[in-house]
Structure 1
Amino acid sequence: MESAIQVVFATTVFDEVATGPGIFAQYLWRAFAEDGEIEFHLVCPAARQSHPRLHVAAGAGNVYDRVAGTALQVANELRETGSPSERAWPVLHVNAAHAAGPMSQYPGSLIVQVNDYEVAEMWSYAAGALLRQGPRKLASLIWRRLRERRAVRAATRTVCNSDYTRRAVLRAYNPPPERVVTIHKAVEVGPQKGDRHRFPLASCPAEDAAACEDAACTHANTPEPGKTESVPFLLAFVGTNWRIKGLDVLLRAMARLAGRDVRLTVAGSSELAGNRPFVRLAGRLGLADRVTFAGRLDRPALAELLARSDALVLPSRQEALGVSVLEALAAGVPVIATDVGGIPEIIRQEGDRHRFARASCPSENAAACDNTTRLQTTLPRTGETESVPFFGLLVPPNNPPALADAIVRLADDADLRRRLAAAGPARAAEFSVERMIDKYRGLYREVQ
């Protein structure tokens, strides 16, 4: 019987609620903690659970060096416990390349992750850091990038969370291309607790409320005959860094929709210093009664927010992939997002070249549109039922008018909402946790 593949996974975050890298660490731990083929050891700064293969980093220094030192110690101990003829170094997998530190000199197979957009937007991000946060932040950013560059060049494999990030890594650090691979971040796909029928009355197959057997259908909340009150169109926004995620663009787009009952729930902490101006902006734009700042949500609360929303809007200025887009698709929630970073890898299939919502096309109608990359040429005509070749609406970044047009388009087109919602879970399944885990299992086998 072949011995198990030993893997030491080092992460500075192990928090399922707060961060993408933390959720990723949880996915790997749940998949491999009791695996028969992979002997998976996880090193982190703190953990709420106890397990023989879960190691809490100790000692002095910053969190990166503490995790690195403990990971190297665990790897060395695993090597020493093997028989003299089988003393091989385990695979060392680091959750963020800039956290590798002294692990760049590791004598065994080294896998590093590049999870963010900053490497792709390095100089513009550095300039912004200097202007907004001063020289200390800029120095920290440069230090981080130098560590990342050293780790990427030393790694057996560098794993990027999107093709967009992979291209950026190759351009910025010039490692051997065959050592840099893409494994998209994943999302759990399945029925959401508290899911609600989110389609308008017109899209319900039942002719009237009496004939409708779906208790969650909009029929249950439809005004009595003769009443004219409208059903609000509910938007969700999810993000930690509201400037990067473009919340100001969304607020300005909503201000252009003053005559419509469009409401927004913002998930993310308004107490973060960089986010407080956005709360004030909502007030200045007269949106206080239409925007709810829900604070930081745990996973069940986030699922509930998506379940009661008509659309997720993510007008990011920069985005490595867009995990919240995947979460919305998995929940069957239509998506409006910007055509930046790795988002188009999710929203449109390979070969699908449309970019902008029909409302932002300069042509008055499809017949007058000679640009085959625009949505005019890819949307079915009214009444047609063929499946859509895309999974959401993409708009240009930093463009409130185009974003407002896309919101109106989605709010007014019940059939488009229905088709996008129906297509979402199948698309999200292509980014499932199970598929991601299979790819990492194959990677561990390859580099052992």
Structure 2
Amino acid sequence: MTVQYDHVQSGPGTFVNYVESHCEDLALTLFSQDLASPDARHRPVGSSPLKGWPGGQFVRSWAYHRALERAREEPGFDLVWYNSSPKTGLFSALLERDLPVVLMINDYNNAISRVPLESRDVLGRKRSIQRPLWRVFEKWALRSCDAVVVNSRFMKKAIGDWYGIAEEKMFLLYKAVDLDAFSFSPPPALELPVEVLFVKHDYRRGGLEELMGALSQLPQDVRLTVAGPADGDEAAIRGLARDCGFNRPLTFAGRVSRSAVRELFTTHDLFCVPSRAEALGVVFLEALASGLPAIGTTAGGIPEVLDRGRAGWMVPPQDEEALRETLDEVIRSPEARKQKVRHGRAHAEKFSVPKMVRCMEEIVRQVLRRRRARAE
């Protein structure tokens, strides 16, 4: 069950395409509202004009559960796996009795929002007011399903603690990077201006404000490219630059394709996303695979993709002064850049697509074994 398939815009869409192209031991049937050409293995899920309205998440969740109910009338299905969000699988987690239900949780935006405005520094005021409600339904779904799949060790502990989920019910499945799609080359000597790349759809959560503030204080000549936010965010981002005192050259690339991101990796000197919150951070792995020096924070699962700082640089989230000092150090340290980039590529190879798919297949086998044991 996947919300994204033909129009990949985020990690869950990439994940399902990787799984479909590399999975050998599972017979997959994909259900989605994002299908251009449905067939026997690609089943459409009914859409609704209410999906963008308040409560539209429940309409979508019910549509996916109804698709599951219709499919369950056919022989051969052993397990249902929701890869988009726990809320999409809410009704299946609550109502399905014949098949084990696996839910993936890809971020902790809801989990950190126990009360309104608690997470406003990460999510913004409006979303931090809404998230505590979604937290209730997300917790309900995760506690009702057969297995919970998380994408980092940080998430495994955090979600288990915050939602009270037993450890044996949770499985770690790292997201992958397609190493063949990225051409690795060691970093050349830096020339001024230093080209800095930021890639994050949610630029607030990505710490763009801290990055602009830190870059504005550097003695070196730098230029910043911002990729990922929607075109409608450009005015707000340029306003943020003025507020931060960032008067260096700023290129707004907007929402870009995955191939365009790979091209940006080859034309920039440094990659920096000082995230305030991050479940894992696959884009860091893509930067490492390309040979681009990467700077992140200690938030969430970033230390896991940066190998605790051996594959890149890390600073505390929302610490503008520490970020400025680190950027200055990276620019002034060519040998350190070379060393971390070489280690970074080797570390990224641990997150290959075949390894991820094998891990998913093993999770499926374990869930089915446990289901059979409980039945017996």
Matched, 1:113 2:104: yes
The answer to whether the Cα contact below 8 Å between 2:111 and 2:135 also exists between their aligned partners in 1 is no
Matched, 1:18 2:9: yes
Cα 1:68–1:98 change in 2 (3 A) is closer
Cα 1:189–1:313 change in 2 (3 A) is same
Cα 1:121–1:73 change in 2 (3 A) is closer
Computed over aligned residues only, the root mean square deviation of the Cα atoms, in angstroms, reads: 2.6
The answer to whether the Cα contact below 8 Å between 2:115 and 2:132 also exists between their aligned partners in 1 is no
1:163 to 153, 168, 171: 153
Report the CA distance between 1:70 and its aligned residue. 4.9
* Aligned twin of 2:207: 246
Alignment-mate amino acid for residue 405 of structure 1: E
The answer to whether the Cα contact below 8 Å between 1:116 and 1:319 also exists between their aligned partners in 2 is yes
Report the CA distance between 1:139 and its aligned residue. 6.5
* Aligned twin of 2:270: 311
Matched, 1:301 2:260: yes
The answer to whether the Cα contact below 8 Å between 2:196 and 2:222 also exists between their aligned partners in 1 is yes
Cα 1:442–1:102 change in 2 (3 A) is same
Range moving further from structure 2, 293-302 or 52-61: 52-61
Aligned counterparts of 2:36 and 2:346: Cα–Cα separation in 1 = 34
Task: Output the TM-score relative to the length of structure 2.
Answer: 0.86
Residues 331-390 of structure 1 show CA distances to partners (whole Å, capped at 9, x for unaligned) of 1111111111111112125xxxxx7xxxxxxxxxxxxxxxxxxxxxxxxxxxxxxxxxx1
2:221 to 261, 265, 274: 261
Q: Which runs of 5+ in 1 are unaligned?
A: 1-9, 83-87, 202-229, 350-354, 356-389
The answer to whether the Cα contact below 8 Å between 1:17 and 1:299 also exists between their aligned partners in 2 is no
Alignment-mate amino acid for residue 87 of structure 2: H
* Aligned twin of 1:415: 335
* Aligned twin of 1:80: 73
Cα 1:56–1:78 change in 2 (3 A) is closer
The answer to whether the Cα contact below 8 Å between 2:33 and 2:47 also exists between their aligned partners in 1 is no
Aligned counterparts of 2:47 and 2:288: Cα–Cα separation in 1 = 42
1:265-304 paired onto structure 2 within 5 Å: 265-269=225-229, 271-272=231-232, 276-285=235-244, 287-304=246-263
Aligned counterparts of 2:245 and 2:164: Cα–Cα separation in 1 = 49
* Aligned twin of 1:102: 91
Task: Output the TM-score relative to the length of structure 1.
Answer: 0.73
Residues 159-215 of structure 1 show CA distances to partners (whole Å, capped at 9, x for unaligned) of 01111111121112212210011111111113536x7763118xxxxxxxxxxxxxx
Cα 1:400–1:91 change in 2 (3 A) is same
1:292-441 paired onto structure 2 within 5 Å: 292-348=251-307, 390-441=310-361
Structure 2 counterpart SS, 1:40? coil
Q: How many residues align?
A: 359
Report the CA distance between 1:20 and its aligned residue. 1.6
Report the CA distance between 1:94 and its aligned residue. 0.9
Report the CA distance between 1:122 and its aligned residue. 2.3
Aligned counterparts of 2:11 and 2:287: Cα–Cα separation in 1 = 15
Structure 2 counterpart SS, 1:38? coil
The answer to whether the Cα contact below 8 Å between 1:192 and 1:307 also exists between their aligned partners in 2 is no
The answer to whether the Cα contact below 8 Å between 2:330 and 2:337 also exists between their aligned partners in 1 is yes
Range moving further from structure 2, 61-70 or 311-320: 61-70
The answer to whether the Cα contact below 8 Å between 2:207 and 2:276 also exists between their aligned partners in 1 is yes
Aligned counterparts of 1:64 and 1:119: Cα–Cα separation in 2 = 14
The answer to whether the Cα contact below 8 Å between 2:266 and 2:290 also exists between their aligned partners in 1 is yes
The answer to whether the Cα contact below 8 Å between 1:270 and 1:279 also exists between their aligned partners in 2 is no
Matched, 1:42 2:1: no
Aligned counterparts of 1:415 and 1:19: Cα–Cα separation in 2 = 34
Aligned counterparts of 1:124 and 1:428: Cα–Cα separation in 2 = 37
Residues 130-181 of structure 1 show CA distances to partners (whole Å, capped at 9, x for unaligned) of 99555xx567423422221122112211001111111121112212210011
1:171-250 paired onto structure 2 within 5 Å: 171-190=161-180, 192=182, 198-200=187-189, 230-250=191-211
Matched, 1:29 2:29: no
The answer to whether the Cα contact below 8 Å between 2:307 and 2:347 also exists between their aligned partners in 1 is no
Structure 2 counterpart SS, 1:434? helix
Aligned counterparts of 1:163 and 1:283: Cα–Cα separation in 2 = 38
Cα 1:306–1:190 change in 2 (3 A) is same
Report the CA distance between 1:29 and its aligned residue. 2.6
Residues 80-107 of structure 1 show CA distances to partners (whole Å, capped at 9, x for unaligned) of 333xxxxx75211112112112101211
Alignment-mate amino acid for residue 215 of structure 2: M
Structure 2 counterpart SS, 1:436? helix
Aligned counterparts of 1:436 and 1:123: Cα–Cα separation in 2 = 32
Aligned counterparts of 1:404 and 1:15: Cα–Cα separation in 2 = 40
The answer to whether the Cα contact below 8 Å between 1:153 and 1:175 also exists between their aligned partners in 2 is yes
Aligned counterparts of 2:69 and 2:322: Cα–Cα separation in 1 = 56
Aligned counterparts of 1:189 and 1:125: Cα–Cα separation in 2 = 41
* Aligned twin of 1:148: 138
Alignment-mate amino acid for residue 21 of structure 1: P
Q: Which runs of 5+ in 2 are unaligned?
A: 369-376
Aligned counterparts of 2:236 and 2:67: Cα–Cα separation in 1 = 45
Alignment-mate amino acid for residue 339 of structure 2: R
Report the CA distance between 1:285 and its aligned residue. 4.9
The answer to whether the Cα contact below 8 Å between 2:291 and 2:341 also exists between their aligned partners in 1 is yes
Structure 1 counterpart SS, 2:179? coil
